[in-house]
Structure 1
Amino acid sequence: MTLRPAKKEDYMETVTPESVGLNSTQLERIGQHLDDRYVSPGKIPGYQVLVARDNQLCYHRTSGLRDLERQTPLTDDTVFRIYSMTKPVTSLALMTLYEKGKFALEDPVHRFIPQWRDMRVWKAGAWPLFDTVPCARPMTVRDLLTHTSGLTYDFLRASNIDRAYRKQGVARPEPGYTLEDMVNQLAALPLEFSPGEKWNYSVATDVLGYLVEVISGKPFDRFLQDTIFEPLGMGDTGFIIRQDQEARFASCYQRNTSKALELTDDGQASAYRDRSFHSGGGLVSTTADYFRFCQMLANGGTLDGERIIGSRTLEFMTANHLPGAVDMSEFAVGSFSETAYEGVGFGLGFATKVDPIANGYPASEGSFYWGGLASTLFWVDPVEDLIVIFMTQLIPSSTFNFRGQLESLVYGALE
C-alpha cells in the first residue's frame, strides 16, 4: 500500500451536528472560546479542533498561525509534534504482538533486555553514588505499559534519579542516539521504586518501542508503518519530517516569564528533519491522520476493512489496570503527567475515566485518552460514540486546561 496524506474530505465537515445528536450552536462556542481566550490574546499561535460522533465528523475548525515569525496561517494539513500522543500508538503496536502470543504481560522485562536482570531500587544518595536495594520483584511488561515500572523522566525534577537521567542524557534525541543506547543507560541506573508499587510517568513507553524491535525483529519505525500507518492510510505520521512536509510543519512555542510566546523549535529548521531516536513518544502527525487512528479505536480496532487489533484486546487495554481498581490520586507519584488524577484510572497505554463526578468533567465512564507535551490531546468516548482531537504547539501541556474546557464545551452540545 502506498502511503498518502489523508485527504481533505477525510476531516472536513461531512454531516450536520444535529444529524448525530449535537447542537451546532453549542459546538460553535468551541471556536469562539478558543479564538477569544487563546488566539486573539496571543496565548497560543493557533489550533485545530475536531469533533466526530457515530464515526462521522460534524465539527472541525482551524484557526490562527502555524508560524508566528513568518506569519504563516495554520492550514488543515498542518503537521504537528504530537509527543506523548505517540504512547497509545506504541502501546497498541506492542499489543498486536501480544495477540500473536509473542509475550505475556507478566513476562519479566529482562527476558527481552538481559542487562536489566539485576535492576535495583534507589534507597539514598545522588548520581553517581547511589545506595540501592534489590527490587521486591522483577519488572514486567505490564509494568511498562501501565507506568508502574519504577522508571522516571528527566524533566520531572522530583528526585535524584531524574537528576541522574539529566546528567546521563537519558532519552535525549542527540544525533546517533538510539533506543538501544537508552536501555543500556537505564541498566546502570536505579529505579525510583520497586515495580508495581506506584504509578510514575516515565520513559517506559520508549522502552516498549525497544521491545517491539526485539520481539518483532523489525526497526520500531518500520513496524509502526507496516502495522498501523500503512493499513490506516496515515501518510503524514512518522518520526521525521520529510522534505515534502517541511512547508506544512508548525513551529513550536513556550511562554516566557513575561507570558509571551517564545520559539522552541522552528518548523522550517527543525531537528525533526533527521532523528535516529525513534521513541515511544516522538511522532509527528496531522489532525486527519490521528482521526484515522481514533476512528479505528472507536470502531473496536478496525477501519475500512483493516483490522489493526482485536476488539476484546482493545477493551482490555482501555480498562483500569491499577491495583484494586483505584484511581490515579491513590496510586500516582511525580509532578507531571498528561492527566488529572481524580476519577481517572490507567490501562495499557491509555488513561481511562472511572468516575466523572470525582474527575469534575463530564466525559463518560470508560472514556479513554491521552495528550502530548505541546498541548495536543484526544479522547474517545465509547458510550456517546464521540471522538475529540485538539492540536496546537505550546509547551508544556500543563500551561492551560484545554482538556477540561473542551469536555465542558463538547458535552454541553449533546442533545
Structure 2
Amino acid sequence: MSALKTEVEPGEVGLDAQRLDRIGTHFAKYVDSGKLAGWSVAVARRGKVAYVAHHGQRDVDAGLPVTDDTLWRIYSMTKPITSVAALMLWEEGALELTDPVSRYIPSFADTRVYRSGSALNPGTEPVVEPVRVWHLLTHTSGLTYGFHHAHPVDEMYRGKGHEFGPPRGHDLATACDTWASLPLLFQPGTEWNYGVSTDVLGRVVEVASGMSLAAFFRERIFEPLGMTDTGFHVSGEEDLERLATLYVPKPGGGLVRSGAMAEAITREPTFLSGGGGLASTLYDYHRFTQMLARGGELDGVRLLGPRTLAYATRNHLPGGADLETIGRPIFAESTYQGTGFGLGFSVVVDPAAGKQLQGLGEYGWGGLASTAFYVDPVEELSVVFMTQLMPSSTYPIRPQLRVLVSQAVVS
C-alpha cells in the first residue's frame, strides 16, 4: 500500500498553486451536493507530482473517508493496460498488428458481418478482410457491447447473456468464441465502435504469451512498476475495507449503492476482462501514467520503447478521421468531435473541434464509474481522477477536469 504525495511545489513546474486549488474546490461541490460520494485526483508535470487531493467518503453509509490507499474499480481504464501488454508482445515479435485474430482464436475464422434484419433473423455477409489485431486495438473490429441497446447485434449479445459482462461461469476463451459466432456490426477497419475488442485482445495476449492475463499483468507490468494494489479482484478484510462503494444516481437526487456489478470485484473472476476488470489505487494508476508520460520507462524499468509509444498514441483511424466522422453515435469514454483513436488510447487531433481545453496529441481514456486519466505530451502533464459513480456520462467531470488543470498551467 503506497500513498501518492506531492513531490514538488507547483511553481517549480510552471503550475499556479492557487489555481490548482480550484480543482479541489470545484469537485468538493459535487460531494457536498450529493452528486459524488468522494474522489481522489493527482496532477503531475515534468515527471513530478504537483497536486494531490482527496475529498468525501469511500462509503457513505459506513462513514469511511477517501484515503491515500482507497481502491477503485477502474473498469475501462483497464483497456490501456491490456493494450500496453499487446504492444509489449509486438515489440518482442510474439505477434504482429496485421495478424488475423483467428491465428490466436480460431473461432474468428468464421466471423460474418451484419447486413440487415432483426436480432432473431439477421442477414449477414462474409468479411472482406479478417478481424486483425490492429482492429482490436483501435475498436474498428465491428465488435460491440450488449449494453449499448442501439443495434440488433447489441440485442444478440444480450440474448447470449452478454450485457455488462458474460454469463457467470464463462471464461475469456468461451466468451471470445461466443462473440465470434455473432455478426460484426460492419466490415473490419471501416468504422469505429466501442465494444469488447479489448477483451478479445486480452485473449490474444494470453495465447501469444502462454500466460493468463492476470499473470502477464502481474509479472510483466504491475510488479515491475510497483503497482502492488492493482488486480482483477479485491480480497481480504483489510483490502475490502479500502474498496470504495460503487454508486449510481438516485432519481430525484442523491446516490444509491449499485447492485451485482459492485460485488463482482470481490470474487475471484472466471472471466479475466482486459476491457474492464481491474481495481486500482490513485498511486498505482499514477505509476502507469508516468510510465506512459516518460516514453515507456519508469524508475529504470522499461516496458515499451519510446518510438512504440509515440506510434501507439497517434491517430490510427482511417483517413485520419475523428470519432465524430467514423464512429457509431453511442456511448464512449471520450468526446467524439476532434478526437481520434490510437492503439488503445483516445487521441486529440483537433482541440478546437472538441470544445474542450485540450492539447493536440493529448491521449487517455476513462472508466464506467467516472474515473479518468490523460497524458499531454506537449505540456508534459499527466492527470488521474478516481471516483465511483456509474455511468460516467452522468456529469461533465472530464471536460471540467481538463479546464481546471489547464488553467493552472502558467509557464
Q: Fold conserved (TM > 0.5)?
A: yes
Matched, 1:235 2:193: no
Post-superposition shift, 1:127? 3.2
Partner amino acid, structure 2, of 1:193: F
Mean Cα deviation higher: 97-106 or 263-272: 263-272
Q: Distance in 2 between matches of 1:114 and 1:293?
A: 32
Shift in CA distance, 174/186, structure 1 to aligned 2, threshold 3 Å: closer
Work out which of the residue numbers 313, 317, 320 in structure 1 matches 2:315: 320
C-alpha contact (below 8 Å) 1:302/1:309 kept by paired residues: yes
Match of 1:77 in 2: 69
Aligned residues: 407
| TM-superposition CA deviations, 1:354-379 (whole Å, max 9, x none) | 11111122221111110000000000
C-alpha contact (below 8 Å) 1:54/1:385 kept by paired residues: yes
Matched, 1:363 2:358: yes
Post-superposition shift, 1:315? 0.6
C-alpha contact (below 8 Å) 2:40/2:52 kept by paired residues: yes
C-alpha contact (below 8 Å) 1:175/1:275 kept by paired residues: no
Partner amino acid, structure 1, of 2:242: R
Q: Distance in 2 between matches of 1:326 and 1:266?
A: 38
Q: Distance in 1 between matches of 2:253 and 2:114?
A: 38
Q: Distance in 1 between matches of 2:233 and 2:329?
A: 30
Match of 1:301 in 2: 296
C-alpha contact (below 8 Å) 2:190/2:318 kept by paired residues: no
Work out which of the residue numbers 149, 153, 175 in structure 2 matches 1:182: 175
Q: Distance in 2 between matches of 1:29 and 1:186?
A: 45
Q: Distance in 2 between matches of 1:175 and 1:155?
A: 16
C-alpha contact (below 8 Å) 1:47/1:64 kept by paired residues: yes
What is the root-mean-square deviation in Å for CA atoms of aligned residues? 1.5
C-alpha contact (below 8 Å) 1:252/1:263 kept by paired residues: yes
Q: Distance in 2 between matches of 1:294 and 1:105?
A: 23
Work out which of the residue numbers 277, 280, 295 in structure 2 matches 1:282: 277
Shift in CA distance, 97/273, structure 1 to aligned 2, threshold 3 Å: same
Work out which of the residue numbers 316, 324, 333 in structure 2 matches 1:338: 333
Structure 2 unmatched ranges of 5 or more: none
Aligned with 2:353: secondary structure?
helix
Post-superposition shift, 1:128? 3.7
Q: Give the TM-score normalised by structure 1.
A: 0.95
| TM-superposition CA deviations, 1:356-415 (whole Å, max 9, x none) | 111122221111110000000000111111111100000000111111101111111111
| TM-superposition CA deviations, 1:189-237 (whole Å, max 9, x none) | 1111110110000000000000011111101110111110000010000
Match of 2:12 in 1: 19
Match of 1:273 in 2: 267
| TM-superposition CA deviations, 1:10-47 (whole Å, max 9, x none) | x11221111111000001011111112x1000000000
Match of 1:385 in 2: 380
Match of 1:135 in 2: 127
Aligned with 2:258: secondary structure?
strand
Q: Distance in 2 between matches of 1:271 and 1:147?
A: 25
| TM-superposition CA deviations, 1:117-151 (whole Å, max 9, x none) | 12111122333432111112111111110000000
Matched, 1:57 2:49: yes
Match of 1:414 in 2: 409
Work out which of the residue numbers 89, 105, 123 in structure 1 matches 2:115: 123
Match of 2:217 in 1: 224
C-alpha contact (below 8 Å) 1:29/1:409 kept by paired residues: yes
Structure 1 unmatched ranges of 5 or more: none
Q: Quote the sequence identity (%).
A: 47
Q: Distance in 1 between matches of 2:22 and 2:261?
A: 30
C-alpha contact (below 8 Å) 2:246/2:262 kept by paired residues: no
Post-superposition shift, 1:176? 2.4
Matched, 1:250 2:250: no
Match of 1:402 in 2: 397
Mean Cα deviation higher: 338-347 or 68-77: 68-77
Shift in CA distance, 270/123, structure 1 to aligned 2, threshold 3 Å: closer
Q: How does 1:89-168 map to 2 (within 5 A)?
A: 89-168=81-160
Q: Where does structure 1 differ by over 3 angstroms across 4 or more consecutive aligned residues?
A: 265-271
Mean Cα deviation higher: 109-118 or 148-157: 109-118
